[in-house]
Amino acid sequence: MELPFRLLYQDEHFFAIDKPAGFFVHPPELSPYPVPKEKICLYHLRRTMKKDVIPVHRLDAPTSGVLLFAMSRDKARELNRLFAERQMHKTYQAVVRGYVEPEGLIDLPLEADEGRITVEAQTQYKTLAQIELPYPVGKKYPTSRYSLVQVHPITGRWHQIRRHFDRIAHPLLGDIEHGDSHHNRFFRDTLQIQGLCLKATAIELQHPWSGEKISIQAPPCEKWERIHHLFQHGSDAI
């Protein structure tokens, strides 16, 4: 059986896939609608590899990119230790509304797992490119501005990147839970860029068993090539 996603790295301890947008890591517990097993990563991986592989971390269903799995629970515990000790470095790219600072640290506590208890949360970012398009989205401004950012979450909270940028008034494009519906519609209908503009582009770590430095990169895809083209050429790309 062929996997519906690409393997990016594999050894006897762990492996990484390029998770497509729309796929769940495991069956969602609180989903108001049934999710077909064909859209669940663990279903495909355990069926194909004939092994009870373990997710090391999570990506939201609308987020694409690098996702790690361990070959056993013992291996997962060791990799989770790297996350806990902040020795696992994750890089994302995102498109946000408006012009953000050239670089910054968002240090704002967030509610833990949709609860009332708040926990520390830090997200570093760097602006890669900015565009201003001659389209009034909404009634406030005659043009629309967007930033392409590289993001490094220091902590790993639920929807951390999405919530952090929303809290500083620069929500991610395509985010139906925390974003701006007018700009989401503009990206979807006018720019033909579908879904959440958030991708896990890389994970770097020192291999816990070999000591080798490992860098796992997500390959280019049509959606993000279109996004990069937009930021390179502005309104000429439309």
**End-to-end Cα, the chain, rounded Å:** 39
At 75-121, the pLDDT tens digits run: 999 999 998 898 999 999 999 999 999 999 999 999 886 667 899 99
**Tokens describing residue 34:** 């049934």
Q: What is the pLDDT of residue 35?
A: 85
237 pLDDT more than 90:
no
For the segment 54-73, what is each residue's pLDDT rounded down to a tens digit?
999 999 999 999 999 999 99
CB atoms within 10 A of CB 10: 13
Q: Which of 18, 60, 175, 180 is catalytic?
A: 60
**Mean pLDDT, the chain, integer:** 93
Topology of domain 6-233, CATH: Pseudouridine synthase (3.30.2350)
Q: What Cα–Cα distance (Å) separates residue 178 from each residue in 129, 158, 174? A: 22, 12, 9
pLDDT average, residue stretch 202-207: 97
Domain-wise residue ranges, the chain: 6-233
Is residue 17 within 8 Å of 43, Cβ to Cβ?
A: no
Give the per-residue pLDDT at 17: 98
pLDDT tens digit sequence for 158-180: 899 999 999 999 999 999 999 99
d(C-alpha 182, C-alpha 93), whole Å: 21
Cβ count within 10 A of residue 19: 25
- The pLDDT, as a whole number, for residue 30 is 64
Contact status, residue 186 vs residue 177, Cβ threshold 8 Å: no
- Please state the rounded mean pLDDT for residues 9-20: 97
Catalytic-residue membership of 60: yes
Q: What whole-number distance in Å separates Cα of residue 59 and Cα of residue 53?
A: 16
